[in-house]
Amino acid sequence: MREGSLEAPTRHAIDWNNPDFYDADLLDAELRRVFDVCHGCRRCFNLCDSFPKLFDLIDGSPSEELDTVSSEDFKPVVDACTLCDMCYMTKCPYVPPHEFNLDFPHLMLRYRAVEKSNGMDKFAQNQLSKTDRNGTLAKQVAPLANWATDKDNKLTRGIMEKTLHIHRKAALPKYHSKTLLNQAQANSLITNKAAPAYGRKAVIYATCFGNFNNPDIGLAARNVLALNGVETEVVYPGCCGMPLLEQGDLAAVAENAANVSKELCSWVDRGYDVIALVSSCALMLKSEWPLISPSNKDVERLAEATFDVSEYIVDIAKKEGITDGLQPLDGPVSMHLACHARAQNMGAKGAEMLRLIPKTRVIVVERCSGHGGSWGIMKDNFDTALKVGKTAAKNALKSGASHITSECPLAAEHLMQGIELQDAEAAKGKTTSHPIELLAKAYGFE
């Protein structure tokens, strides 16, 4: 190991089954150790709202050092963390194997896990994290659910703001009466035997968002993969648990990991690759689950077999070559690099995939959207989320692109809200999508 952490970062397993993990005094000592290092460095000042809150807290204390900051004042710093992992992946020079051994996001996760164990988790966020229950209920009354959650519905959104503390102006995902799983089971596809990649097999993990909120992502992926000779199946054993992770519910995440990995590994045993449709879910399968359940062999095997959907298409393009027939899109693309796609350490695969489309300009936006999962829709956070994502929205607007795309669909919608605030007229000519939907469009699928 060399000074400056020039080696590849090594992330340690989360020791959440150890009673010491939940010891308040040990947690406070670790918070103070890490915060003091952050205070002396400050490279992360512009990544999210956690670090400005921390530094303002220290600078406003009597000694202007951490020793005169009360531990009770740490909570706003923790609450502002969206677990995006960008400090760990892109900024911090002190991540392991450096001797300082800093992992800021997982320390914030530990704080929330301690809160959870003490019954201090928040009701609204806790209910939002139950994505499978919410999706199953909402699909039964999808038109009514979408009417009630529409940001232009002042009556219901006002009630939601008062009761669930969801900001009345925050865009919320829609629900579909027919899930991705329903539609895939009802419509079989013919695999293109003439494609260079014919012979590949992949199981598409629908994810809760792809299954309940935006089946078009999965349908686009199925069409593109079938045209490229890939036999696919769509499965949805349950949520990856990212919303539960945000609330510090590590036991529930471990349970989801065990159940989902068991089913997906049955497909891996039959020679199938695993494709996750949403970057946050791919990150969970590849990185977070193995750190939460390091002794689970299915979790370990699944991590090795999992691809982000953009990553998988690029892999085909590099190894076998993709099927001809791509046509230019009807305008340039602003490709937002989602934090959870970047945290997979796979490169800018969404942009790389879109550059396969001929005569189509792809402009990369490499700044945080500010959304942060369920964090950015809450009343206390929405304005801050727009502020954090202002630069990304500005860059997307400045690009002149008609297509706003991100491997995190929630980020794309949040960026559009930021664009509307800056230039409502220009926003009218723009659409949001997942990159795989644009590739499908270039192939002629609607």
Residue 190's pLDDT band (cuts 50, 70, 90): very high
Residue 7 pLDDT more than 70?
Answer: no
- Phi, psi of 315, deg, nearest 5: -60, -40
User: What's the pLDDT score for residue 113?
Assistant: 97
Encode pLDDT of 92-131 as tens digits. Answer: 999 998 999 999 999 999 999 999 999 887 777 888 889 9
Q: What is the three-state SS of the chain?
A: CCCCCCCCCCCCCCCCCCHHHHCHHHHHHHHHHHHHHHHHHCCCCCCCCHHHHHHHHHHCCCCCCHHHCCHHHHHHHHHCCCCCCHHHHHHCCCCCCCCCCCCHHHHHHHHHHHHHHCCCCCHHHHHHCCHHHHHHHHHHCHHHHHHHHCCCCHHHHHHHHHHCCECCCCCCCCCCCCCHHHHHHHCCCCCCCCCCCECEEEEEECCHHHHHHCHHHHHHHHHHHHHCCCEEEEECCCCCCHHHHHCCCHHHHHHHHHHHHHHHHHHHCCCCEEEECCHHHHHHHHHHHHHHCCCCHHHHHHHHHEEEHHHHHHHHHHHCCCCCCCCCCCCCEEEECCHHHHCCCCCCHHHHHHCCCCCCCEEEECCCCCCCCCHHHECCCHHHHHHHCHHHHHHHHHCCCCEEEECCHHHHHHHHHHHHHHCHHHHCCCEEECHHHHHHHHCCCC
Encode pLDDT of 365-385 as tens digits. Answer: 998 898 988 899 999 999 999
Least confident of 43-47, 60-64, 107-111, 158-162: 43-47
Q: Where are the domains of the chain?
A: 19-117, 123-163, 180-318, 326-442
Encode pLDDT of 253-310 as tens digits. Answer: 999 999 999 999 999 999 999 999 999 999 999 999 999 999 999 999 999 999 999 9
Domain range 326-442, its CATH number among 2.60.40, 3.40.50, 3.10.450, 2.40.50: 3.40.50
Residue 392 pLDDT more than 70?
Answer: yes
Domain range 180-318, its CATH number among 2.20.200, 1.20.1050, 2.60.40, 2.60.120: 1.20.1050
Q: What is the mean pLDDT of the chain?
A: 94
- Please give the average per-residue pLDDT across 144-172, as a whole number: 95
- Please give the average per-residue pLDDT across 40-64, as a whole number: 93
- Please give the average per-residue pLDDT across 429-438, as a whole number: 95
User: What's the pLDDT score for residue 374?
Assistant: 85
Residue 446's pLDDT band (cuts 50, 70, 90): confident
Encode pLDDT of 394-420 as tens digits. Answer: 999 999 999 999 999 999 999 999 999
User: What's the pLDDT score for residue 326?
Assistant: 97
User: What's the pLDDT score for residue 1?
Assistant: 42
Q: How large a percentage of the chain has pLDDT more than 90?
A: 89
